[in-house]
Structure 1
Amino acid sequence: MNKDNTLRPLVALSRSREGMQFIIHRGARQVGGSCVELNFNDSTILLDIGLPLDSDFSDDPEFYLPQPLFNELKNGKKKIDAAILSHAHLDHYGLAGMLPTGVPVYCGKASAELMAITGQISPEKTQPLELQFFKAWKEFQVGAFSVTPYLMDHSAFDAYGFLISAGGKSLFYTGDFRGHCRKAKLLDHMVQNPPKVNVLWMEGTLVGERTNELTITEQDLENQFASVIKKTPGIVLVTTSSQNIDRLVTIFKATIRTDRKLIIDFYTAEILDRLKPYAKLPLASWAKIRVCYPQLLARRFEKLGLDDILVRHRRNGIKWTRIKEIENNAVMLIRAGFLYDIKRFLGLEGATWIYSLWPGYFERSKPLRNLKSYLEDKGVRYEYMHTSGHAKLEDLKKLVDAMAPEMVIPIHSFHPDKFKDYFPNVRLVNDGEVVNL
């Protein structure tokens, strides 16, 4: 994408064509906002339709629609049979609500739960998606395409890659993945039993400036969390994503190991509750977990008419005055918006703040910087503990070696040119370029 958020023009395609073609509408040279179009005969599908990471939520979402794709859809010059979503991160599905009415959107059931709660609290309201659900490793058909979802290890719960076949050609789209955390065996299994593919679209978030970034396991993180919690005399505050389920499990396990209570907010409790049909996860009803109600967040939910969520978790609630009484026996998840309550109620003597997110968010978020500044002024000890949701170079190489594709296409990378330094058969493409197979 250029600085003015425009994309290079592509050649308009008719519905009737011979051979397979694909177009990366966005993602050939950037991380986030992925959107790939795949065509064969009279069938067209989209893989992901994401919102760019640098988007401003105050902007009209139409500003970020990949063009001319959406103009062609709007004017009836192009039709798509379905959009297929890899996982429930906004940079992969955030513009799906802008698709024409009636376009089927395929995703995992748990991903739909996560997208639903994100949509409930989003300032932008879009039309409901025409959802269809797939299951891991169960092939389904969209027009001329056979699609097999592969469950992947990623920081998003219920993340998938896709094997797509038509006309004697097979392609694999990795989505976002890694091989170093709680579901690492998924990559091991794929490498041991690789699908035969002609083309591999492979994410490369860490390729380039982040190639040597440390990627420890969630088990390593659990040990680190437990060590810090054990030696902290006061409350341990943790900032992480409420939708990073692997990390929530890590924090819960470390809390149990150190015989403390874990305090989560009602939004986090709601996410865990909605995902309980899909995995055995810590729940707000468990004895070692309590639910807090940050004032600003509660008011936001009330204004949005989400009182049912507020009421649902009251039975497991804990008052802020009680949290203050048990600070030395608590681990508490916090976000920047909790600063009002933290200032009002918590003493923070002997406290530690563990930041467990990408550090780049400090540059983007003034409220997060304000939280950091306040905790520093209060003498709270700072610890950074995180691992990436994306594949390290070693795992990228394992995947390429196992699949041995005729063509490796970089996607979801700021440095696609670096792929040629590490992988064979790399072809660089541009956003909007039509590639015939």
Structure 2
Amino acid sequence: MEDRQKDTLTIGFVGEPNVGKSSLLNSLFDRKLVGVSATPGHTKHLQTHYFERVEMLERTDGVFSRVLVCDCPGVVFPRFNVPVLLQILFGSFPIAQTREPFSAVRFIAENCVPHLHEMYKLKPVDEDDEWWCPYTLCESYARLRGFRMKGGKLDVHRAANTLLRDTLNGKKVVFAMLSGKVLRQGLQRALRKPQQLRRFSVAAEKVEDDLPTASCRQEAKGPDCWKCHHATDCCSFFCKSCNAIQPINKSCHCDYFEMFKIPKNFNLEQRSIEKTYWNLQKRLHPDLYGSKSEFEKELSAVNAAVINDAYKMLKKPNTRVKYLLALHGIDALGESASTAVDPELLMQTMEIRERIAEAPDVGALHEIRKEISDHIDAIINKLGEVYDQDQDLDSTKQYAVELQYMVKCAEEIDLREEKLDEY
């Protein structure tokens, strides 16, 4: 501004994005001179306008003959005590560019009067959900507003952004005042027991190889809650007293069946497994812990990974029976088991593979696939009898090996079908 004339009084507006600098300029000129928007960053460059008001020039005692008003883009100043979620709610960060909106939704839900689910009269999508979390709130709001993506799936991200915009526009009253004492207590909780988390993280990296054995000690009591010191169950992901996320003591007495709260049977309802899995993922997803401590963030990531591995192991019959046998200390598909395979099963498998390799077209493969599918169904029925009813581990092991061989044959059909489609 050094090149401006000396008789010109220069006034500039400087501030964070979306605080009303452009709106104030329009009010001073009593007309729409510059564009305004609720989205931060609307003003892209420095704008200058001469302002001629006699009463203002008279106050300068004739020193200045003109007034120059400058409107500049918003400036984001460094902040060490204001999290990103508050910057989003203040309007300093564009909501449309927010990659993880659930932390801000959590802050709204915890500080909104009245509560979000009461304000919008929301009902859980899943009637068995006992707790509201940011994801379930957005899921319910998406169903209320009819926000859906391709395929009919609820558009939870769009619902979260809509809730944030309603807050920014003043449709909801959000109020929070955190004292220094509360902030210090939160920091102390975040730094509490980091060794416990590190031990758990190392254990979680060995999920695939850490199959339980039969010689382990059976006990269900876990460590006390790290937050409220209430006694917890070693297989519970949340404290029953304060609902804080907990590290899972993944050992022989805390297996995947205990985590999913289902009986240790071969025959299980697939719907029940999926329902439990999605309910846990809704509460453990790392996106929901963006505003939490580093301890809780890592816990959510580790626990979510454990749940994924448990679901992969339990949802398929061949991996589920392998895990059940591992609980009894039996490696059904290891090197020792491969040397004791029934010769008739080996011959049958070889014949099936030859038929697959010589299949002239996709129609022939479909006939073989149907035969294998019927065979697999028969094996699954037998496994339900010999394990769930008779607890015959030897027969269970034999059928588990046979099931695995048939599953491999089915996979070979898929590969052969892809090659035929290429031609």
| TM category, shorter | under 0.3
Determine which structure has more spread, i.e. the larger CA radius of gyration: 2
Higher strand share: 1
Give the alignment's TM-score, normalised by structure 1: 0.22
Give the alignment's TM-score, normalised by structure 2: 0.23
Higher helix share: 2
